[in-house]
Structure 1
Amino acid sequence: MGLSEAYPMKGGDGPHSYAKNSTLQGHVIEVAKEVMKETIAEKLDMGAFNCSKTINIADLGCSVGPNAFAAVETIIEAVRSKYGSESLSSQIPQFQVFFNDHVSNDFNLLFTSLPRDKQYYAAGVPGSFYERLFPEASLHLVHSSNSLHWLSRVPEEVTNKNSPAWNKGRIDCANSGEEVIRAYKAQRERDMEKFLQLRAQEVVNGGLMLLNFGFNPNGTHPSQCVSNLYLDLIGSSLMDLARKGRISEEKVDSFNLPIYFMTPKEMEAAVERNGCFSIERMETLPSRPRGNGGNQSLDHQMAAHVRAAMEDTITQRFGEDIMDEFLDLYRKKVREIFIPFIAKSAGDKGDSLLVVLKRKY
C-alpha cells in the first residue's frame, strides 16, 4: 500500500493541545467502559493466553495518551476480574501495553504523562495501523477508539480535476456527488481489508479486538450522518474564507481529509470477507457530545477539539494567520447548524459504534 498519510493531533501540553482538548473522545471511551468490561467477562477465552506469563495489549491510534490510558486501565481491570471469577487470581499474568500511533505522534508527551501507578509495562510502537506492527500471534487484546474512521490516504480521484470524482469546494464526501462517495468507500474497503488481514496475523487465536469509532447508520445518506457534519462545517468554513479572499479556493479544492465513516453493514461485510474474525458484539453507544458540564458551551468545545485535531494540518496548508478567523466561523456554524441538527435527532442512540471481534481458531 505504500506509506500512509499522517495527520497528527496537536502535541505538547499547551492550552490548544490535544492532551488538553480531547474530552469529546474521552467521553466516547467513558461511555464504552461498562460495555467493554461486560464483553471481556463474557467473551474472553482464557485459552487464548495459553499459559502465557504476559498478556499483551495494543492500543492503536493512541495519540498523546490521556484517553488511551483510561481505556487500557478498563481492559486490565476487566481481565483481572475475569481471572478472579474463575478462581485464578493467583495466576494473573503481567501486562505489557503497546501504544501505537504514527511516527509524527508526540510520543515524548505520551511517555512523560504515563500514570505513575500503572499496573503494566509500557512501550511505544510507531507506525500506521495499516502496516504490520507486531510479531505473529503476539497480541491478546487490541483496542482502538476514535481512530478507524481515518483512511490510509485521500482517494486519488477526489483531487484529480479530470476525474468525475473531483471533490471541488469540499474536504469530505458527505455532501458531495455519488462518485466522490464511491471513491471514499472504495478506499475504506481497501484499508479495512488490510487492517483485518494484518491484525489476523498479529492476534492470537481466541484474542479479542475492541474497536470503537464514529459510524454512519445503515440506510442513512452520509449527508445526514452526525459525524460527517463535523467535517462538513470545517470545509464550509474554509470555503467562506476563500470567498473572502483570505485563502485560495484552489487550495481548498485540493484539500481533502482521509476520513470515511462506515455503516455497520459495511463493517460486517469487511469482517466476512476477511474470514479470520467473528463478530462477538456490535452496538451503538450514546456518545454524542452535549457540552462540558455547562462550563464550556458546545460550540466552544467543538472548536477547541477541531483546533487540537486539525490546527497543524490546516495551518500547513493555508497559513497560521487564518486560524482564529476560521474558528470564529466554525463556532458560528456549530450554533446555527450543528446544535439544531442534533436537537432534532435527540432520540438517536449516538454516533459511536463498538465492535468486538474474536480471532477464530
Structure 2
Amino acid sequence: MAELVIPIRPMNGGNGLYSYSKNSIIQRKAIEATKELINKTIAEELDVNTFSSSNTFRIADLGCSVGTNTLLAVKNIINAVQHKFQSQGNGTKLPEFQVFFNDQASNDFNQLFTSLPSEIQYFAAGVPGSFYRRLFPKYSLHFVHSSSAAHWLSRVPEEVEDKSSPAWNKGKVHYSNSTAEVIKAFEAQFAKDMDNFLKIRAQEIVHGGLMVLILPGRFNGAPHANNYINKAYELLESSLIDMAKKGMISDEKVDSFNVPVYYASLQEVEAAVKRNGCFNIELMENIIHEKPQPKVMSATFRAGLEGTFKEHFGDEILDELFDKLLYNKLQESSLHSKSCESVYLFVSLKRNTDA
C-alpha cells in the first residue's frame, strides 16, 4: 500500500480555552442522539454465544480525540453489552472489557487518560496511528465505534492541489462551493478512503462482530452547498480570502491549502459497504442535528482546525481569523434557514460470518 498522507493535525489538546475538551459539545450531542440506536443494535444483533469462549470483550473507539466524549460513548456501549448478556441469562458470565482508544500519534493521550474516572469498568489502552492503516491483530475486536471522525480524509485529493489539473481548487480551501471537478475529486477520495477503512476493519473485527459509524454528512441527493457544516466552512474560507485581500496572508498560501474533509450521504456509505462485501448493514439513519449557535460553531472550528491552520498560515492570524468568522460571518449568515440542514449519519454494520 502506498504511503498515506495525513495532513490534518489532531484536535487541540489540554484543557484550555480553545481545547477540544471544552469545545466539542456538537460532537457530544451526536453521541447522545445515537445512544438508543446503539442500544438497539447491540440488543438485536449482538450474539453473545459467539463470544462465550472468550473472557474478554474488546472495544475500539477510532478517532477518539481527547476529553469525555469518547468516555461517554464507551460507557454507553459497555452498559448495552452487559444488559444483553444479562437479558440472556448470562449475568454471572459477564466478560471483562478491554477498550482501545485510537487517534493520531500526536493526539493528546495524556489529557484523555487523565479524564478517566477513578473507577472504570474496563482496561484502557491507547493505540496511536491513522485508522486508514491496520491497528489491531486479525479478528481481535468485538465492537468498533467511530464518531465524528470518518469524514476526515487520509489526504487532500492530489488533483485539487495540481495547478495543471481541471480540479485545481484555486482561491478556495473547501470543496462545497467549488467546481464540479473539485467536488468529484473529493467524492472519489472519500470512496477510496472508505473502501480502505472497511477492508482493514474487516480484518480486525471478529466474525459476527459489530461496527457503528457516526459521521456528519448530508441527505441523499442533497447539494453539498446546502449542508450546514459546508456552509460554515465556506464562511471560514471567506474569512481567509478577506485576510488575503488585506495582505495578511498570501494568495499562494490560500491556493495551496485545502481542508481534507468530506460530508457523505448514506447512499455513498452504503455503496462502499456493498463494494466491500464483508459487512451486513443492520441499520442506517439520518439524524437531524441541532444547528449550533455562531459562538459554538466558531469555537468548535478553532478547537479542531487551529493546529492545521497554524502549521500552514502561522499563528499570527489565528485570533483575527476566528474573530472574523464569528462576528463578521457566522452572526450575519443565514445558516439557520430551513434550506440548510445539519445531519449526522448513523451506520450499524455486522461482520459477515462467511466473508
Bigger shift: residues 45-54 or 131-140 = 45-54
Contact persistence 1:31–1:286 (CA under 8 A): no
Q: Which residue of 1 aligns with 2:251?
A: 249
Tell me the alpha carbon deviations over residues 145-175 of structure 1, each in whole angstroms, 9 at most, x when there is no partner. Answer: 0000000000011111111000011112101
User: Does the 8 A contact of 2:161 with 2:256 survive in 1?
Assistant: yes
Relative to 1, partners in 2 of residues 1:17 and 1:320: Cα closer, same or farther, differing over 3 Å?
Answer: same
Q: Which amino acid aligns with 1:336?
A: E
> 2:220·2:266 contact (CA, 8 Å) conserved in 1?
yes
1:33 Cα deviation after fit:
1.1
How far is 1:299 from its partner?
1.3
1:336 aligned onto 2:336: no
CA distance in structure 2 between the aligned counterparts of 1:328 and 1:14, rounded to whole angstroms: 18
Q: Distance in 2 between matches of 1:279 and 1:249?
A: 45
Q: 1:355 aligns with which of 341, 347, 350?
A: 347
Query: What is the aligned partner in structure 1 of residue 287 from structure 2?
Result: 285
Q: Percent identity?
A: 52
Number of the residue aligned with 1:182: 184
Between 14-23 and 270-279, the greater mean CA deviation after superposition: 14-23
Give the superposition deviation at 1:222. Answer: 0.9
Give, as a single letter, the amino acid of the residue that structure 2 aligns with 1:115.
Answer: P
Superposed displacement of residue 80, structure 1: 0.7
For structure 2, the 5+ residue unaligned runs are none
Q: Distance in 1 between matches of 2:5 and 2:135?
A: 13
TM-score, normalization by structure 2:
0.96
Q: What secondary structure does 2:243 align onto?
A: helix
SS at match of 1:341: coil
Match of 1:322 in 2: 317
Structure 1 window deviating more from structure 2 (77-86 vs 228-237): it is 228-237
1:307 matches 2:302: yes
Find the residue that maps to 2:107 and give its secondary structure. coil
3-state SS in 2 of match to 1:186 = helix
SS class of match (1:95):
strand
What amino acid does structure 1 have at the position aligned with 2:332?
A: E
Structure 2 partner of 1:271: 273
CA distance in 2, matches of 1:287, 1:7: 25
Task: Provide the C-alpha distance between the structure 2 equivalents of 1:28 and 1:216, rounded to a whole number of angstroms.
Answer: 14
Residue range with higher mean Cα deviation, 55-64 or 260-269? 260-269
Match of 1:168 in 2: 170
Alpha-carbon contact 2:100-2:126 (below 8 Å) kept: yes
Structure 2: how far apart are the matches of 1:11 and 1:172? 24
CA-to-aligned-CA distance 1:209-237 (integer Å, 9 cap, x gap): 01000112111111111221222222111
Instruction: Report what 1:199 is aligned to.
Output: 201
The corresponding residue for 1:114 is 116
User: 2:39 is matched by which residue type in structure 1?
Assistant: K
Deviations 1:66-85 (A, max 9, x none): 10000000000000110111
2:265–2:345 contact (8 Å) kept in structure 1: no
* Alpha-carbon separation, structure 2, partners of 1:229 and 1:36: 29
Secondary structure of 1:285's counterpart equals strand
Q: Once the two structures are superposed, what CA deviation does each residue of 1:66-111 show, in whole Å capped at 9, x if it has no partner? A: 1000000000000011011111111110000000001110111111
Q: What CA distance in whole angstroms lies between the structure 2 residues aligned with 1:118 and 1:169?
A: 49
Q: What residue in structure 2 maps to residue 104 of structure 1?
A: 106
The aligned counterpart of 2:36 is 34
- Cα distance per residue 1:316-341 (max 9 Å; x no partner): 2112121121112211311222xx33
Aligned equivalents of 1:41 and 1:228: distance in 2? 35
CA RMSD of aligned residues (A): 1.3
Q: Would the aligned equivalents of 1:64 and 1:110 in 2 still touch at CA under 8 Å?
A: yes
Amino acid paired to 1:196: L
Q: Is the 8 A contact 1:4 1:130 kept in 2?
A: no
Give how far 1:48 is off: 3.2
Deviation (angstroms), 1:251: 0.4
Aligned AA (2:335)? F
Give the CA deviation at 1:50.
4.1
Deviation at 1:206, TM superposition (A): 0.6
Q: Is the 8 A contact 2:232 2:335 kept in 1?
A: no
Which residue of structure 2 lines up, in the alignment, with residue 295 of structure 1?
Answer: none
8 Å Cα contact 1:169-1:253 kept in structure 2:
yes
Shift of 1:193: 0.7
Going from structure 1 to structure 2, the CA distance change for 1:52 and 1:204 (only over 3 Å counts) comes to same
One-letter identity of the residue aligned with 1:117 = E
Q: Any conservation in 2 of the 1:216–1:227 contact (CA below 8 Å)?
A: no
Please say if 1:155 is aligned against 2:147.
no
